[in-house]
Amino acid sequence: MHWFQKSEKDIRNERIQNAIPEEQYRMIRQYCVQRNNIIKLHTYRCFTKSNQSPQSVTIFFHGLNEHLGLYAHIAQALSKQANSVCVGFDYRGFGRSEGLRGWLESKEQHIEDCTRFILLIKQLYPGVQLFSLGQSLGGLTSYIIGMNNLVHGTILITPALMDNYYNRPYLKKLAILLGKFIPTWSPFPASFPNVSKNPQILDDHMKDPFINWNATLPGTARNLLKMMREAPNTFQYYHKPFLVISGGMDQAIDPDVGHELIKLSPSIDKELIYYENMWHDCIAEQEILEIIPKIVEWIKKRQ
């Protein structure tokens, strides 16, 4: 007899975390140069069902301080249900990739790495439609990739496209200043962002050796904030098909980002999924069980 019985919510979260082991991804080789050193980027690939040619390729981009292993359950669903090969890589300095830990050197460097990877994927899958998917920084990255016309459509999950000016405003000002002079040294202690309503998710993430829990480097914060604050000026020029997913309880970014992008973008193919009580780090929240089938259908209709 068990004195403690798991709730349906706990069972759902376990199902999300254990959907597919990260190691079942297949690797692609990718390298880059940082400070005159060649470093290896850890890449991932999740194939479609055997003996089936893919109808599309979905390129994943992870959030700040994350790694793509956290997105395995989404990749599994897209590869098997939408017949879309799922690929991606851990950014330099994040996850299992080599490089200075936690350093986002610049927007240009970041997008260059992503562009080189996409061009490699186009060589591997010539003539196959490409989609991009990302959360937070990954959503911002996916958006920029769409602006650069490198993919057919984009899936933007709580994308870092609008800064939440009420979230640590003084700390941001200090980071912007320090980021100009000491970009790779941080005087701040390790931080544990309030991005999930489920304490179990935070506890699981703290045990993950590939999540960066060090304090965000000032240079990283400066570059990310600059990218976020520039993005809204481009909404009126965003013509790509897109699906944006946002939550009303998001404290990391402006929770109105999805509504603003829908309102200002001239795209003729745009869709918003909005959950009033959803937080920022939604890929591990229970809402993702409803979101994944919608992502699958969105891609299938556009293949």
Number of domains making up the chain: 1
Q: What is the CA radius of gyration of the chain?
A: 18
Per-residue pLDDT at 2: 31
Q: Is residue 278 part of a domain?
A: yes
Per-residue pLDDT at 192: 63
Let me know: does 100 contact 26? Beta carbons within 8 Å.
Answer: no
Q: At which residue do the structure tokens 């240009």 appear?
A: 108
Whole-angstrom Cα distance, residue 300 to residue 297? Answer: 5
User: How does pLDDT run across 38-65, given as a tens digit for each residue?
Assistant: 889 999 999 998 778 999 999 999 999 9
Residue 58: partners with Cβ closer than 8 Å, 6 or more residues away: 75, 78, 82, 84, 85, 86, 87, 130, 131, 132, 133, 155, 299
Q: Which residues of the chain have pLDDT under 70?
A: 1-29, 31-33, 35, 191-194
Q: Is residue 85 part of a domain?
A: yes
Whole-angstrom Cα distance, residue 99 to residue 27? Answer: 18
Q: Is residue 3 part of a domain?
A: no
Q: Is residue 2 part of a domain?
A: no
Per-residue pLDDT at 8: 54
Residue 73: partners with Cβ closer than 8 Å, 6 or more residues away: 16, 17, 19, 20, 288, 292
Q: Is residue 282 part of a domain?
A: yes
Per-residue pLDDT at 88: 96
pTM greater than the 0.75 cutoff = yes
User: How does pLDDT run across 190-246, given as a tens digit for each residue?
Assistant: 766 667 777 788 788 888 999 998 889 999 999 999 999 999 999 999 999 999 999
Closest CA to 22 of 71, 55, 64, 60: 71
Q: Is residue 51 part of a domain?
A: yes
Give buried/exposed letters for 285-302 (b at 16+ CB in 10 A, else e): bbbbeebbeebbebbeee
- Indicate which CATH number applies to the domain containing 153: 3.40.50.1820
Whole-angstrom Cα distance, residue 48 to residue 168? Answer: 43
Q: By residue range, what is the domain housing residue 184?
A: 8-302
Q: Is residue 201 part of a domain?
A: yes
φ, ψ of residue 180 in degrees (nearest 5): -75, -30
Q: Is residue 214 part of a domain?
A: yes
Other beta carbons less than 10 A from residue 2's beta carbon: 5
